């Protein structure tokens, strides 16, 4: 058997990786996952001397720029829902990273408006699988909790929001990892669906 025939046979024998959309979707979900994980953990206060603003560069470049580029590629690949999600979330992270300090009412309103966007993304991805739907649903909850924390000055609710955001980040990271590595090690990863 020639080398080319062996490669072709291996391709057909291995299970296809789980799909999150076009080829840019795993990159977008990795960027979203890492940004949400950092944002969430820094919101919890679990790291002494670190806060949410310490994730500014990560939010700007990984969350903002990478998600924006992934969104454009998703649109090019024909995925309006994922393209919209990545472009909008890229705008969210750029705004979050670059925003001047605002009053609690303005910040709370900002978070509530983005929670509406996250709710829209949850509904738009309803048939996209449990993990992807879970990412957006948990992000919605995290944004609502952060808004309540900001408007009410309740630090405990803010820490709870951080844990919810971190859970959303882990789901996004796992979704992307599963899609990229599905079947690569001869084992089946947990399903993305």
Which pLDDT score is estimated for 20?
46
The per-residue pLDDT for 7 is 40
Does residue 191 surpass a pLDDT of 70?
no
Say if residue 132's pLDDT is above 60: yes
Whether the predicted pLDDT of 137 surpasses 90: yes
- What are 67-105's pLDDT values in tens digits? 999 999 998 888 888 899 999 999 988 888 887 677 889
Distance (Å) of CA 32 to CA 6, 42, 132, 174, 185: 37, 15, 11, 11, 25
Confidence of residue 185 (pLDDT cuts 50, 70, 90): low
Secondary structure string (H, E, C) spanning the chain = CCHHHHHHHHHHHCCCCCCCCCCCHHHHHHHHHHHHHHHHHHHHCCCCCCCHHHHHHHHHHHHHHHHHHHHHHHHHCCCHHHHHHHHHHHHHHHHHHHCCCCCHHHHHHHHHHHHHHHHHHHHHCCCCCHHHHHHHHHHHHHHHHHHHHHHHCCHHHHHHHHHHHHHHHHHHHHHHHHHHHCCCCCCCCCCCC
Residue 167, φ and ψ in degrees, nearest 5: -65, -40
Q: Which residue has the higher pLDDT, 13 or 78?
A: 78
On the question of pLDDT at 19 being above 50, the answer is no
d(CA 7, CA 18): 20
pLDDT band per the 50, 70, 90 thresholds, residue 60: confident
Q: ∠163-171-43 over CA atoms, to 5°?
A: 25
pLDDT of the residue at 61: 80
Segment of 16-20, 24-28, 118-122, 187-191 carrying the highest mean pLDDT: 118-122
Check pLDDT > 80 for residue 5. no
pTM exceeds cut of 0.75:
yes
Tell me what pLDDT residue 70 has.
92
């Amino acid at each position: 058997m020639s080398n080319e025939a062996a490669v072709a046979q291996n391709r057909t024998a291995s299970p296809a990786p789980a799909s999150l959309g076009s080829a840019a979707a795993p990159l977008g979900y990795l960027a979203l996952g890492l940004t949400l994980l950092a944002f969430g953990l820094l919101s919890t206060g679990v790291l002494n001397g670190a806060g949410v603003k310490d994730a500014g560069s990560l939010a700007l470049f990984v969350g903002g720029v990478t998600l924006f580029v992934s969104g454009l590629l998703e649109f090019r690949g024909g995925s309006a829902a994922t393209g919209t999600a990545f472009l909008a979330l890229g705008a969210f992270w750029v705004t979050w990273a670059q925003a001047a300090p605002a009053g609690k009412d303005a910040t709370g309103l900002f978070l509530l408006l983005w929670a509406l966007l996250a709710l829209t993304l949850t509904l738009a991805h309803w048939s996209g699988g449990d993990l992807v739907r879970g990412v957006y649903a948990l992000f919605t909850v995290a944004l609502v909790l952060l808004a309540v924390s900001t408007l009410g000055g309740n630090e405990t609710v803010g820490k709870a929001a951080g844990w919810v955001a971190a859970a959303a980040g882990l789901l996004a990271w796992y979704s992307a990892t599963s899609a990229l590595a599905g079947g690569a090690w001869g084992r089946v990863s947990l399903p993305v669906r």
